[in-house]
Amino acid sequence: MPLAYPSQRVAYPYFVIALLLFVLQVIVGIWLALSYAVTMPQGLVDILPFSTTRAFHTNLLVLWLLLGFMGSTYFMAPEESERDIFSPALAYLQLALLVATGVAALVGFFFGWTKGKPLLEIPFPLDYLVVVGALIFLFNVGMTMLRSKRWTVIQGSLFGGLIFLAVMYLFNLPFYANLSIDWYYWWWVIHLWVEGAWELVAAALTAWILIKITGVPRETVEKWLYVELGLFLFTGIAGTGHHYYWLGAPKYWLWVGGVFSALEPVPILLMLVDAWHYVRNRKGQLNGKLVFTFAVGMAILHFVGAGLWGFAHTLPQINYYTHGSQVTVAHGHIAFFGAYVLLNLMFFYYAMPKLEGLTAFNERRGTLAFWWLSLAMIAMTLAFTIAGVLQTYIERVMGLGYMTAQAQMRFWFAILVALGLMLLIGVVLAVLDLLTLRPAPASESR
């Protein structure tokens, strides 16, 4: 099946690079788990400390997810705007710039060149190059949409989310002398990304895919999209307060953060119910069973990870003991996986066959990869959670030493190394499948 618009092709290199970085991220993750489980020799730690490899792991995550979002946007924008991308050349230039910046940053980390702020380690002036890349992207997408004959809620949510995302990154650029204020604005980037801007992007991409595969009228989908976005932003913006309990901010954040973030699962639940509703009321046959599997898996794990695991430690009375422990790590892994990893993979599975010129593709390997990945991540989350509960109880409640708690958690990190290897198998399977999609067997093709 030819593409509706030839310029959608620019998405392809974005997806390929994102997938390769994903594999790399998981390999580094296994190394991190290993560093917790066994004793790394002092000589090795002096050359390649945990801090460097952790910076690799988190920056690879952010880079590949963002490249995935950008590729997805370039794929979707022409169909929504009913015209080709404003400038495919700019899209390739932007990709080259961002990848070059990312590679320079990763190599730099190895040599100790860092801003030294978790997740936002990319140092000056590379951080400004990221901004330049983002501006090129926004300009290109904005021009595509502005020159379009129509304006849809999905376009609005997507473009609004992308602008929101870029604006929030600006709060990372200055140097803050006061540590508390530094972290206050660090969360404007991190929290307002994952529980604000990225949710807008995710909701738009998901709504678009659901229209495509279920044939439910756009009117219905876009109406509920408005409600979801309203609830996401209502709970998400003031919900930033759940990070302000213990950083030297006034006491009222305990109330504001507690109340608003307790409501944060509501829009995610609505998203889940919506997806279910659309599928039940679909017009005719599902257009792509695997994409649908990813969509439902995403909706469920998004709710479990961001909703349930987030809620579990968001109230101040509990967070006082769990803050900054492996409980956070458990939540972080399942929430990112459920909300954004599966979102990207879902979109790739929708777009890649079309980019490779296939009408229908063989879904066997992809289905196996989905279950393998998801089950491995669920098992990892449980292992992190057990480690986190042990840490919380031994270190925070009983008041024993940090390493006393770590000794009890060590076993679970050994388990995590094994589970990480399982996850890697699933990731490699999904990536290989996406890069070498095969046509559907004759009996299945329609």
Residues numbered 205 to 234 that lie near other proteins (CB under 8 A) are: 219, 223-224, 226-227, 229-231, 233-234
In the range 273-302, which residues lie near other proteins by CB under 8 A? none
Single-letter amino acid, residue 231: L
Residue 408 within binding range of other proteins, rule CB under 8 A: no
In the complex, least distance from residue 208 CB atom to other proteins, rounded to whole angstroms: 17
Residue 104 within binding range of other proteins, rule CB under 8 A: no
CA distance 210 to 276: 10
Contacting range for other proteins; rule: CB under 8 A; set: 1-9, 175-183, 370-378, 429-437: 175-183
Selected binder of other proteins within 323, 331, 354, 365 (CB under 8 A): 323
Is residue 311 within 8 A of residue 259, CB to CB? The reply is no
Q: Which neighbouring-strand residues pair with 301?
A: none
Binding mask 37-76 toward other proteins (x if CB under 8 A, else -) reads: --xxxx--xx--xxxx-xx---------------------
In the range 338-357, which residues lie near other proteins by CB under 8 A? none
Selected binder of other proteins within 246, 311, 393, 411 (CB under 8 A): 246
Contacting range for other proteins; rule: CB under 8 A; set: 100-108, 125-133, 250-258, 345-353: 250-258
Which residues are CB-contacts of 385 (< 8 A; sequence separation ≥ 6)? 309, 326, 327, 330
Phi and psi at residue 112, to the nearest 5°: 80, 15
Residue 317 within binding range of other proteins, rule CB under 8 A: no
Contacting range for other proteins; rule: CB under 8 A; set: 22-30, 78-86, 206-214, 401-409: 401-409
∠ at Cα 199 (196, 205), nearest 5°?
Answer: 150
Which residues are CB-contacts of 407 (< 8 A; sequence separation ≥ 6)? none
Binding mask 12-31 toward other proteins (x if CB under 8 A, else -) reads: --------------------
Selected binder of other proteins within 193, 245, 309, 361 (CB under 8 A): 245
CA distance 231 to 238: 11
Residue 178 within binding range of other proteins, rule CB under 8 A: yes
CA distance 379 to 422: 10
Selected binder of other proteins within 14, 75, 183, 370 (CB under 8 A): 183
Selected binder of other proteins within 237, 279, 308, 414 (CB under 8 A): 237
In the range 361-380, which residues lie near other proteins by CB under 8 A? none
Of 84, 101, 203, 196, the C-alpha closest to 140 is: 84
Residue 284's alpha-carbon distances to 52, 215, 280, 288, in angstroms, are 52, 8, 10, 12
CA neighbours within 13 Å on the CB side: how many for 106? 19
Single-letter amino acid, residue 230: G
- Judged by beta carbon, residue 248 or residue 357, the one nearer other proteins is 248
Of 169, 156, 190, the C-alpha closest to 101 is: 169
- Give the binding-site size for other proteins (rule: CB under 8 A): 77
Rg over CA atoms, the chain: 22
Residue 336 within binding range of other proteins, rule CB under 8 A: no
Selected binder of other proteins within 158, 209, 213, 254 (CB under 8 A): 254
